[in-house]
Structure 1
Amino acid sequence: MGLTLFIVCLWVALVLGQLPPEIEKCEAGDSICVAETITRILRLFPKGLSSIGLEALESISFEDVVVSQIEPGDPATLDLRFHNLTVRGFADATVAEAKGFDAELPRVLELSGWIPLLKLDGFYEMHGSLLTMPIQGKGHALVEIKECRFRCKLRALEQLRGDGGRYAEIAKVKCLLDVQGIHLNFENLFDNPELSHAMNDVANAKWLEIWHTLRKGITSAVDRLVESILNKVTSKLSYDDFYRV
């Protein structure tokens, strides 16, 4: 009977979604506690936590990510897309500030903090011009973003469900990113190893200009990533269960 009761309780926890006992619940409106709790979850569960819908953050994969695209009337001069992309580093994020986490919904929530090193790794294809120079290639690429500081605003809507719980739907995410450095390694540029190496050296020497070129697309990918991660959690963990009663 004891084992049966344990299995039932475990099943209920997995279905309804509950924070594990080692995670402190916060008072609604306690922004310091919320920031610390989110950071603690990231540190304790880099491989994810299925009971609250959190997927592994140490390695996240995407398909068909457009970083930059040439369109009529657009100042962009570079087409760059990743056919597949793996993002690493989110598990090491620190949330320094949380705003808007009050009891009532809908709300605008805000999270800010930093990620020491964000790595984007995948198979790329690009053509156009970069740093006023013509460029083309396809193959493996690694982009390392150092000391990435973020400020993300989230629009949270209220969903009332049959279980009586209030759930938050993250309807929109918009992040601002500021970085302290970028290191690029795009293999197979111009189908020439020597030219590829030389072009990567030039790009890394002028990383700030490269960042201004790629910022919009990388930020858009981060918006998409944050929205996907949070919606999976908020669809399983009710808004009220995040707070101390």
Structure 2
Amino acid sequence: MALIFIAAKNIEKCHFGDTICLIRTMNSIIRHYPKGISEIGLPPLDVTHFNLVSVLNTTTKGPIWLNFHLRDNINKGFNNATIIHVDGFDQDPTKKQIEIKARIPRILHEANYDMEGKFLLFKANSTGKLTSDFQNFELTLIVKVFVEYRQDKRFLKIYSLVPNVKIDRWIIWMDDLYKENSDLTIALNRAFNDHWVEFWNDLEPGLLTEFKISFTGLLTTIFDRVSYDDMFLSQTEIYGSSLFE
């Protein structure tokens, strides 16, 4: 979601380091371009697709263990994000890390799952549809970059991206946990949701890996297509002008 504004008409460009302007412009882009901006490789924000995710691989010992993989992932809701904090987009972006923080009311996640596990006395080895609802989702991206020069312009290259996530509630439903016993499927889904914090703590590292790969790819595409200097006002530009005006 960072600096996607530079390819859009009638979008305010900012001075280096002007965090208030950057927050305002990023939020404007999110509201006005939910289908993305193809010129700079920004994908649609209302529906995003993710590849295969190995969320958890644990040892098959003890009363609770789980091997959990997700396929054909779809997330809905990033178009409702609000940027609340931005830092590091200074004249020299290598002097400190870049930080972007966003709040999203809810993210709806759909996928196909493959699961093998044990929850107390219940064992599971199943495949099916998964839907989950991440409520009051807060995402922070910490990005470190170096500069590459092309045609006398600076382009950013990412060498580190760390995502952090906070949520107030996670509601999950997995179909066909036990295809031969729908009552047991319902009971296990209720158990997952009653103990969602414990499951979240176990699954979070795998989910964060997927966020890292996805946002690294997104920002890399943008940074590779548009120079860092073109993202901001130059000395001769009028404040608020657009790259394409």
TM-score class normalised by the smaller sequence? 0.7 to 0.9
**How many Å apart are 1:109 and its aligned residue?**
0.4
Summarize the Cα distance change of 1:98–1:18 in structure 2 as closer, same or farther, 3 Å threshold.
Answer: closer
Which residue number in structure 2 is paired with residue 128 of structure 1?
Answer: 117
Matching residue's letter, 2:125: Q
Distance 1:115 1:216 in 2: 20
* Aligned residues with identical type, % of pairs: 25
Residue of structure 2 in register with 1:118 after alignment: 107
Give RMSD over aligned pairs: 2.1
Q: Which residue does the alignment assign to 2:52?
A: 64
Structure 1 distance, partners of 2:185, 2:72, is: 21
Per-residue CA deviations over 1:65-108 (Å, capped at 9, x if unaligned) read 111112699xx931111122112211211110001110114241
Aligned residues: 226
The answer to which structure, 1 or 2, has the higher relative contact order (CA under 8 A, 6+ apart) is: 2
Counterpart of 2:173, as a letter, is: N
CA displacement at 1:168 relative to structure 2: 1.0
Q: 1:186 to 1:95 in 2, by over 3 A?
A: same
Deviation, structure 1 residue 110? 0.5
Query: Any unmatched runs of 5+ in structure 1?
Result: 1-16
Which one of 204, 207, 210 corresponds to residue 221 of structure 1?
210
**Following superposition of structure 1 onto structure 2, how do residues 38-57 of structure 1 map, counting pairs within 5 Å?**
38-57=26-45
Alpha-carbon spacing, 1:79–1:161, altered in 2? closer, same or farther (3 Å):
same
* Deviation sequence 1:133-153 (CA, Å, 0-9, x none): 533321110111001112210
Amino acid at match of 2:13: K
Aligned ranges 1:77-92 → 2 under 5 Å:
77-92=65-80
TM-score normalised according to structure 1 size: 0.85
CA drift at 1:175? 1.2
Specify which of 166, 191, 201 is matched with residue 178 of structure 1. Answer: 166
Residue 149 (str. 1) matches residue 138 (str. 2): yes
Q: Which runs of 5+ in 2 are unaligned?
A: 235-245
Q: What one-letter code is carried by the residue in structure 2 that aligns with 1:147?
A: N
